[in-house]
Amino acid sequence: MQYSVPFTCLAKRRSNAAHGSYAADQHHTSNRDSEPLLHGARTQDASVGGATRLTLGADAGYMPTLLLVTASALSLGWWLPQLIRILRRGSAGVSPTTWAIATANVTLWGFWALLAGQPWVVTVEWVQAAGSLLVVLTIGLTRSALIAAGCVAVVVLVAQPWPVVASVAAVASVLAVRGPQLYSLRARPEQHQVSVLSWMMVGVANLLWCAWGASSGHPTMMIGAGVAALSSAVIALVGSRRGLPGPETASP
């Protein structure tokens, strides 16, 4: 999952917990759907000031739980096929900018999850962050990739005080991850080493996150994950049409 980092909600939650105000709690509840947050089955936990946690099992509903677990499993390992392909065949056509921005995105999301007390999300995001970092370091981190990742991270963070702007920034960050890779695929010669399997995995994962957002009543998650799924499918489609076997697999 590659999405926005809603830090501003944390201040609201802590304020509500500290003052114990019924009015503040009512305000938090009425504005929950307008915030770019990752909600579970709308289960309240008073120990964290009313923060909504991801809930597994019967309390969350079996279908949302199945979607959540499957999406998480695919998200955990989507970077691995690309790393293996680079180690075996080289990194021709693989965009370091894409993987640098992906690393920044999931790292920030993991920090939000840590502060919000969401251990499940912390695990998923930081495993992705470590994997994406391995990919970009294997390719070779360029100055332009580092600058692009920093700019996207700053935009996402600055946008957080305004929920609507933050949602737009979240979708923009999704496109920022995929745009450089798509450009690289179209600009490079026919032979490239972009892993179609990796992009298929992350596309399916985001499609499941989209379905989970819909089933859990979270339209912001649904839209962001839907855009990520569609753009990942485009990369997989273009890559599958343009790619040729690597030198070691070519016919004699």
- The answer to whether 60 and 180 are in contact (CB under 8 A) is no
Yes or no: say if 144 and 198 are a contact pair by the CB < 8 Å rule: no
SS3 content of the chain, % helix, strand, coil (to 5): 70, 0, 25
Closest CA to 54 of 126, 122, 118: 118
Does the structure show a pLDDT above 90 at 120? no
Q: What pLDDT does residue 61 have?
A: 62
- At 2 the pLDDT is 54
Q: What is the pLDDT of residue 198?
A: 94
Closest CA to 27 of 10, 13, 40: 13
pLDDT of 43 strictly over 60? no
Considering the entire predicted model, what is its pTM?
A: 0.72
Residue holding tokens 């307008």?
Answer: 34
pLDDT of residue 118: 76
Burial 141-172 (b: 16+ CB within 10 A, else e): beeebbebbeebbeebbebbeebeebbebbbb
Q: What are 29-38's pLDDT values in tens digits?
A: 444 343 333 4
